[in-house]
């Protein structure tokens, strides 16, 4: 017989993946899935560009699975989904990799190696692992266009970036300013915090710390502090970097922090002073024993210093008060400050939210030049800025005795004297230090020179994101975040606290900032296109700023200078200003995050090309990346979308969590717990891997990756589905079923079929809803449950006979009813399998296609060559019958209870039992039970199901309170009532069910309200049924009649015999269609039993007849119940 449906020896998910991959390639299925949708609505997806200079890890598989499944799903829902791949190619990681490769440092660039050569190496190295990435992409089944990716280092890409920058520049959103950055005076360079995160840069060091005393100025505002005492008042502020004190311009306090004015003495000089310090920190500076002690006997140097709190107030009250400069000198006079920052108003107390009472005094010494917080708060409170230290790390002229001294030992001087100590000593002598001590803390060091870093103001270019802050917050509210909390929380919060975007990077391999400027800084130009640059160069040549080399034409020169828009070429370009002065490019490169944030525009080389394409593909309907991109890519996309187009850049964003190892540790190469995705895919197959990643945890939860989990998915889902298919194929091939019959209307199919179809359509409904809601985990789990619990373990198991029962008898009589039943079963199972293949296609694309193709091979009625080109199923509401699904659930529960009873009393299922009694739970229950009775009987091998009417007094009932209805009414009496109800007897229960029951008859005596309960306040169940074994689940009770009549015993015996013979057939490797003759050795009474069930037995074992012989020499022994029988089967 021709086998229409392929049958397999065993399931090999890896073979399936290989075969299907080949099929996709050969038939160009991915291309077709896009081209076939030409003209349909598009679903816009952006691929976040990975950097190909590192190997892909398993965590890339999860985010890409997520992206892929959404795109596949939307394709099947009828959208055209273009997916352009991309590569992120600039930035520090690439540069560091190259430096390592070449064995050089940043300083060597331009010296040992030319910038040109260096950048060429970067360009080459950055796509080092591109092949590996492409391979992973293919093998995991991620459909994305790898043939036409956008690459951020290409000229066209950079040109769009320049266009974007020019737009921002024209809108006055691009500006240059000073910012505080980590700076290494020893190396003479700023450091990125990436560099600060190199191992070993943070070291524990002991520094001289000072609690300095800033003398309060008495005026109208501060009068409230002065009225209680005549002594001078000092604000105490702590610092671990005393060298910043001459640059002090303010003191910052916390608005809501409590501060105290305290009368005490300077511990070094013994002078009586009043100090101001945060209330929670008093204990750090003054001993409790000193509180309230008499001042008369105190002298300098005494261990216990007397003190007394004069006043307590909030930081807010201090705002605006003035103090005298701590270390005045020529260089830091008010005039000098105002010379540098006109209009500045320093030397006052301000408030800042970064102030804590963790350490220090609760008053923060603020030197805007040397701290990011200081700078920010200084700027907003107009303190001005003073930088009394130069770029070499030494004090500038005009700082008195400290001028010319290095603030840290940057030059490895033999006799270096710590200037910080000298400053402390000076303060101590002047009575301006309250405490001086060595303080050990963690401080960053330059990873090249090992010298301490300082924070230092440096020029940098910024995007004025804060200008559009409100709009960005508003736009963010329209974005569908998965999970929502990331949007409102992490991202929303980030937007609320937004600062301007520091674009500047002082590296070599990156997009150059296209700003040219005259030396005096008076004139500058921002170039917005290559064309514009060419024009400007032309002007410059005409002006004579460019000395053309021998015989080089103007055109050739321009071509040479613009063929690569990177360093060093752009730096060699000199342009001419409107006033005729030469302009050179500012040295900065831009943050690589700008590169990726601008991909919606740059991937199409907009606006220079593809204007229409861009319009159709902006904004994205959907993006997805790891949650670590929240403030990375998600942010930069959002910024540029908002600033350039006043639009969101994406409508839905899914942020997936991390992949941890099975012990919950972060995967890292160093720990050796990183999972190689290639190994996983090769060994376990992409489908199981993808399914596991998606269904094990919500994408945004972090996932503990364990290969055992994938194996479980293999076994449970794919194994079961494979078995189900095999089962179908086996019998469909036998019966030559290939969907050649007219479809039997669902209403005419048996209840079992209607049930699984209802369940299937309910599943479709749920899966569609979940995918639409970007909840693939819910969808996957639902499919899993359907396949295992409903389709395989219930439908197929219960319907097995329908498939292998012959539709015609041996002599060819066809029973029309049987035929129809069989066709119905095939049609039903086929529909389930085909539908499941489509439902699972987004998540398990290989297996789904394999299953689909096998089924279509059999039916020969393929709508499409691949499941991925089909339409996603749509639930047919008419087929969904929730009532039927409930009925089946009831039948399942009852069957399960009966099976557990059989187990309990040790009567195997093959032994028929006469009767099961089920107490009714009301009319509804009876109706629902009725249609399940047949199923229960055959599933549990029981002859009859007897329904016990509600009002019988045969069983003992048990009532439980319905907390939901009663709780609201009774309130505090609930506990009491629940207890009462539990003790109700049959007649009381009946009273309630039939009308109402007064629960507290003596309510009047107790002075209470009467409590009436009705049937709906009770949940009834059964306590016991005399003479029966009883099992209970919730309100449901079944009672099993255990009596075995001879007839039942004999029937059991026959069934047992059938089972043994079936085993023999299997052992002898008979085909399931082979006919046999059974020969049995005669033995006491056996013949009578067997003969009584002759027809049944023959039908089951496909025997033409059963012969009995007195003695069977070459027979086999089988055990039936307690008998040993000798039998023989002969194939005919």
Partner RNA sequence: AGAUCCGUAGCUCAGCCUGGUUAGAGCACUACACUGAUAAUGUAGGGGUCAGCAGUUCAAAUCUGCUCGGGUCUACCA
Range 882-911, binding RNA (CB under 7 A): 896, 899-900, 903-904, 906, 908-910
Least distance CB 1033 / RNA (angstroms): 8
Contact by Cβ (8 Å): 346, 326? no
Distant-in-sequence, close-in-space partners of 672: CB < 8 Å, separation ≥ 6: none
Least distance CB 913 / RNA (angstroms): 14
Within 101-120, the residues that bind RNA by CB under 7 A are none
> Exposed, middle or buried, 174 (CB in 10 Å: 0-12/13-18/19+)?
buried
Catalytic, out of 49, 185, 512, 514: 49
Catalytic, out of 24, 604, 633, 700: 633
Site string for RNA, 792-811 (x = CB under 7 A): xx--xx--x---x-------
Q: Choose between 171 and 662: whose C-beta lies nearer to RNA.
A: 662
Q: Choose between 600 and 780: whose C-beta lies nearer to RNA.
A: 780
Q: Choose between 661 and 881: whose C-beta lies nearer to RNA.
A: 661
Contact region for RNA (CB under 7 A) — 309-317, 429-437, 499-507, 816-824?
Answer: 499-507
Catalytic, out of 80, 167, 181, 629: 629
DSSP for 73-133 reads: HHHHTT-B---EEEEB--SHHHHHHHHHHHT--GGGBTTTB-HHHHHHHHHHHTTTTHHHH
- CA 1008 to CA 1011: how far, in whole Å? 9
Is residue 92 within the footprint of RNA (CB under 7 A)? yes
Within 1092-1131, the residues that bind RNA by CB under 7 A are 1101-1102
Least distance CB 701 / RNA (angstroms): 5
DSSP for 468-535 reads: GHHHHHHHHTTSEEESHHIIIIIIHHHHHT---EE-EE--SSSPBP-EEEETTSS-EEE--SHHHHHH
Q: Choose between 700 and 872: whose C-beta lies nearer to RNA.
A: 700
Q: Choose between 269 and 911: whose C-beta lies nearer to RNA.
A: 911
- Is the previous residue joined to 967 through a cis bond, with omega within 30 degrees of 0? no
Nearest Cα residue to 95 out of 632, 589, 456: 589
Distant-in-sequence, close-in-space partners of 1037: CB < 8 Å, separation ≥ 6: 918, 919, 955, 1021, 1022, 1025, 1030, 1031
List the structure tokens of 696. Answer: 């094990």
| Binding-site member from 179, 332, 511, 562 for RNA (CB under 7 A) | 179
Q: Choose between 162 and 461: whose C-beta lies nearer to RNA.
A: 461
Least distance CB 386 / RNA (angstroms): 16
Query: How many positions of this chain bind RNA (CB under 7 A)?
Result: 105
**3-class DSSP state for residue 1083?**
coil
Angle, CA of 421, 246 and 260, to the nearest 5° = 85
Whether 593 sits among the annotated catalytic residues: the reply is yes
| Binding-site member from 113, 115, 535, 1070 for RNA (CB under 7 A) | 1070
CA-only gyration radius of the chain, Å? 42
Contact region for RNA (CB under 7 A) — 26-34, 175-183, 386-394, 814-822?
Answer: 175-183
Return the DSSP state at 599.
Answer: H
The pairing of strands 308-314 and 202-215 is unpaired
Site string for RNA, 1014-1033 (x = CB under 7 A): -----x------------x-
Within 308-347, the residues that bind RNA by CB under 7 A are none
List the structure tokens of 974. Answer: 């609930």
Within 591-650, the residues that bind RNA by CB under 7 A are 591-593, 627-628, 630-632
Residue 1055: C-alpha distances to residues 379, 827, 1120 (Å): 92, 30, 9
Q: Choose between 409 and 1019: whose C-beta lies nearer to RNA.
A: 1019
Q: Choose between 92 and 425: whose C-beta lies nearer to RNA.
A: 92
Least distance CB 768 / RNA (angstroms): 18
Within 957-1016, the residues that bind RNA by CB under 7 A are 960-964, 967-968, 970-972, 974-975
Catalytic, out of 24, 37, 67, 88: 88
CA torsion angle 438 439 442 447 (round to 10): -20
Q: Choose between 502 and 610: whose C-beta lies nearer to RNA.
A: 502
Whether 633 sits among the annotated catalytic residues: the reply is yes
Whether 629 sits among the annotated catalytic residues: the reply is yes
| Binding-site member from 49, 346, 719, 776 for RNA (CB under 7 A) | 719
Whether 669 sits among the annotated catalytic residues: the reply is yes
Least distance CB 974 / RNA (angstroms): 3
Is residue 1065 within the footprint of RNA (CB under 7 A)? yes
Least distance CB 226 / RNA (angstroms): 34
Distant-in-sequence, close-in-space partners of 611: CB < 8 Å, separation ≥ 6: none
Site string for RNA, 689-708 (x = CB under 7 A): -------xxx-xxxxx-x-x
Least distance CB 810 / RNA (angstroms): 15
Distant-in-sequence, close-in-space partners of 542: CB < 8 Å, separation ≥ 6: none
- CA 495 to CA 473: how far, in whole Å? 6
Within 446-485, the residues that bind RNA by CB under 7 A are 483, 485
Residue 834: which H helix or E strand, with range? helix 816-840
The pairing of strands 659-660 and 650-656 is unpaired
| Binding-site member from 2, 193, 812, 1111 for RNA (CB under 7 A) | 193
Whether 215 sits among the annotated catalytic residues: the reply is no
Is residue 666 within the footprint of RNA (CB under 7 A)? yes
Contact region for RNA (CB under 7 A) — 163-171, 177-185, 511-519, 1045-1053?
Answer: 177-185
Least distance CB 14 / RNA (angstroms): 11
Within 251-280, the residues that bind RNA by CB under 7 A are none
Distance of CA 640 to the CA centre of its chain: 24
Is residue 927 within the footprint of RNA (CB under 7 A)? no
Q: Choose between 309 and 660: whose C-beta lies nearer to RNA.
A: 660
| Binding-site member from 723, 809, 952, 994 for RNA (CB under 7 A) | 723
Is residue 709 within the footprint of RNA (CB under 7 A)? yes
Least distance CB 222 / RNA (angstroms): 29
> Exposed, middle or buried, 1006 (CB in 10 Å: 0-12/13-18/19+)?
exposed
> Order of strands across the sheet with 1029-1033?
942-948, 913-919, 1036-1041, 1029-1033
| Binding-site member from 113, 372, 467, 561 for RNA (CB under 7 A) | 372
Distant-in-sequence, close-in-space partners of 669: CB < 8 Å, separation ≥ 6: none
| Binding-site member from 89, 181, 518, 854 for RNA (CB under 7 A) | 181
Contact by Cβ (8 Å): 585, 573? yes
Is residue 359 within the footprint of RNA (CB under 7 A)? no
Give the residue carrying structure tokens 């015989």.
Answer: 551
Least distance CB 965 / RNA (angstroms): 8
- CA 768 to CA 776: how far, in whole Å? 10
Least distance CB 1029 / RNA (angstroms): 12
Catalytic, out of 307, 593, 604, 794: 593
Least distance CB 488 / RNA (angstroms): 7
SS3 sequence, 928-986?
HHHCCHHHHHHHHCEEEEEEECCCCCCCEEEEEECHHHHHHHHHHHHHHHHHHHHCCCH
Question: b/e map of 910-931 (b: 16 or more CB within 10 Å)?
Answer: bbbbbebbbbebeeebeebbeb
Is residue 924 within the footprint of RNA (CB under 7 A)? no
Catalytic, out of 171, 203, 256, 666: 666
What residues act catalytically?
49, 88, 593, 629, 633, 666, 669
């Amino acid at each position: 017989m021709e086998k229409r449906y392929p049958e397999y020896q065993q399931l090999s998910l890896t073979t399936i993946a290989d075969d299907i991959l080949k099929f996709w390639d050969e038939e160009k299925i991915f291309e077709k899935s896009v081209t076939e949708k030409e003209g349909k609505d598009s679903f816009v997806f952006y691929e976040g560009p990975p950097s190909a200079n590192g190997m892909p890890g398993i965590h890339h598989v999860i985010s890409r699975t997520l992206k892929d499944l959404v795109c596949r799903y939307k394709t099947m829902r009828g959208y055209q989904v273009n997916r352009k791949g991309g590569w992120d190619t600039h930035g520090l990681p690439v540069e560091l990799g190259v430096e390592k490769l070449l064995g050089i440092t940043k300083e060597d660039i331009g010296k040992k190696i030319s910038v040109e050569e260096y950048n060429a190496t970067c360009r080459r190295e950055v796509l080092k692992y591109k092949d590996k990435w492409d391979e992973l992409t293919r093998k995991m089944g991620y459909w994305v266009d790898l043939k036409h990716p956008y690459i951020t280092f290409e000229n066209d890409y950079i040109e769009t970036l320049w266009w974007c920058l020019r737009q921002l520049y024209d809108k006055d959103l691009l500006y240059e300013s000073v910012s505080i950055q980590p700076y290494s005076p020893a190396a003479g360079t700023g450091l990125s915090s990436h560099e600060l995160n190199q191992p070993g840069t943070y070291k524990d060091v002991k520094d001289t710390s000072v609690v300095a005393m800033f003398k309060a100025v008495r005026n109208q505002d501060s009068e409230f502090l002065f009225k209680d005492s005549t002594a001078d008042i000092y604000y105490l502020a702590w610092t671990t970097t005393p060298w910043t004190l001459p640059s002090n311009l303010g003191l910052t306090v916390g608005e809501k922090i409590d501060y105290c004015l305290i009368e005490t003495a300077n511990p070094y000089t013994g002078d009586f002073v009043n100090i101001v310090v945060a209330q929670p920190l008093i204990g750090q500076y003054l001993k409790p024993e000193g509180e309230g002690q008499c001042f008369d006997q105190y002298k300098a140097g005494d261990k216990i210093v007397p003190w007394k709190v004069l006043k307590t107030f909030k930081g807010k009250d201090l705002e605006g008060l003035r103090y005298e400069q701590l270390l005045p000198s020529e260089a830091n006079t008010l005039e000098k400050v105002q010379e540098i920052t006109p209009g500045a108003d320093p030397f006052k107390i301000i408030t800042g939210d970064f102030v804590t009472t963790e350490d220090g005094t609760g008053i923060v010494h603020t030197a805007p030049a040397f701290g990011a917080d200081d700078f920010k708060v200084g700027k907003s409170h107009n303190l001005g800025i003073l930088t009394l230290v130069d770029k070499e790390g030494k004090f500038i002229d005009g700082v008195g005795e400290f001028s010319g001294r290095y603030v840290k030992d940057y030059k490895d001087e033999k006799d270096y004297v710590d200037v910080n100590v000298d400053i402390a000593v000076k303060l101590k002598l002047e009575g301006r230090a309250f405490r001086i001590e060595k303080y050990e803390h963690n401080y960053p060091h330059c990873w090249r020179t090992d010298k301490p870093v300082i924070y230092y103001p440096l020029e940098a270019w910024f995007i004025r994101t804060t200008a559009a802050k409100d709009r960005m917050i508003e736009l963010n509210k329209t974005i569908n975040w998965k999970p929502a909390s990331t949007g409102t929380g992490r991202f929303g919060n980030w937007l609320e606290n937004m600062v301007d975007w520091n674009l500047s990077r002082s590296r070599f391999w990156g997009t150059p900032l296209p700003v040219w400027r005259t030396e005096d800084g008076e004139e500058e130009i921002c170039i917005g296109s290559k064309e514009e640059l060419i024009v400007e160069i032309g002007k410059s040549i005409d002006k004579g700023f460019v000395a053309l080399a021998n015989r080089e034409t103007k055109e050739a020169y321009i071509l040479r200078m613009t063929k690569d828009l990177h360093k060093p070429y752009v730096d060699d370009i000199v342009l001419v200003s409107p006033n005729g002065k030469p302009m050179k490019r500012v040295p900065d490169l831009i943050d690589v995050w700008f590169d990726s944030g601008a991909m919606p525009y740059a991937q199409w080389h907009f606006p220079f090309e593809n204007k229409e394409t861009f319009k159709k593909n902006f904004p994205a309907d959907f993006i997805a990346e790891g949650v670590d991109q929240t403030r990375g890519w998600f942010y930069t996309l959002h910024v540029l979308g908002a600033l350039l187009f006043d639009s969101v850049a994406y409508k839905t964003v899914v942020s997936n969590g991390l992949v941890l190892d099975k012990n919950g540790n972060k995967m890292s190469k160093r720990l050796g717990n990183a999972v190689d995705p290639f190994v996983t895919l090769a060994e376990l197959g992409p489908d199981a891997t993808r399914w596991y990643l998606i269904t094990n945890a919500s994408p945004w939860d972090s996932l503990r990756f364990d290969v055992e989990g994938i194996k479980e998915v293999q076994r449970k889902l794919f194994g079961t589905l494979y078995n189900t298919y095999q089962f179908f194929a086996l019998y469909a091939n036998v019966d030559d079923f290939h969907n050649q019959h007219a479809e039997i209307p669902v209403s005419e199919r048996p209840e079992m079929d209607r049930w699984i179809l209802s369940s299937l359509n309910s599943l479709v409904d749920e899966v569609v809803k979940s995918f639409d809601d970007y909840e693939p985990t819910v969808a996957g789990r639902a499919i899993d449950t359907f396949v295992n619990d409903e389709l395989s373990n219930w439908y197929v198991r219960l319907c097995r006979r329908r498939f292998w029962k012959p539709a015609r008898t041996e002599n060819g009589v066809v029973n029309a009813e049987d035929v129809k039943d069989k066709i119905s079963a095939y049609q039903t199972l086929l529909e389930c399998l085909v539908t499941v293949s489509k439902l699972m296609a987004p998540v398990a694309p290989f297996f789904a296609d394999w299953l689909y193709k096998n089924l279509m091979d059999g039916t020969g009625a393929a709508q499409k060559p691949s499941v991925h080109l089909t339409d996603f199923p749509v639930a047919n509401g008419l087929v969904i019958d929730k009532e039927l699904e409930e009925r089946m659930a009831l039948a399942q529960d009852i069957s399960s209870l009966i099976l557990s009873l059989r187990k309990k009393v040790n009567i195997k299922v093959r032994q028929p039992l006469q009767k099961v009694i089920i107490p009714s739970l009301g009319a509804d229950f009876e109706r629902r039970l009725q249609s399940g009775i047949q199923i229960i009987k055959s599933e549990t091998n029981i002859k009859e199901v007897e329904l016990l009417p509600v009002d019988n007094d045969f069983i003992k009932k048990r009532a439980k309170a319905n907390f939901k209805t009663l709780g609201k009414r009774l309130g505090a009496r609930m506990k009491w009532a629940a207890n009462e109800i539990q003790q109700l007897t049959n007649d009381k229960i009946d009273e309630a069910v039939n009308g109402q029951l007064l629960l507290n008859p003596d309510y009047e005596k107790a002075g209470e309200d009467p409590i009436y309960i009705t049937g709906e306040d009770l949940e009834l169940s059964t306590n016991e049924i005399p003479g029966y074994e009883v099992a209970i689940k919730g309100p449901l009770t079944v009672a099993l009649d255990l009596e075995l009549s001879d007839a039942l015993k004999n029937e059991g015996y026959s069934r047992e015999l059938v089972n043994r013979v079936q085993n023999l057939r299997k052992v002898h490797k008979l085909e399931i269609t082979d006919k046999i003759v059974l020969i049995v050795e005669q033995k006491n009474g056996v013949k009578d039993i067997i003969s009584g069930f002759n027809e049944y037995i023959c039908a089951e074992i496909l025997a033409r007849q059963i012969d009995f012989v007195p003695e069977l020499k070459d027979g086999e022994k089988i055990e039936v119940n307690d008998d040993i029988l000798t039998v023989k089967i002969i194939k005919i």
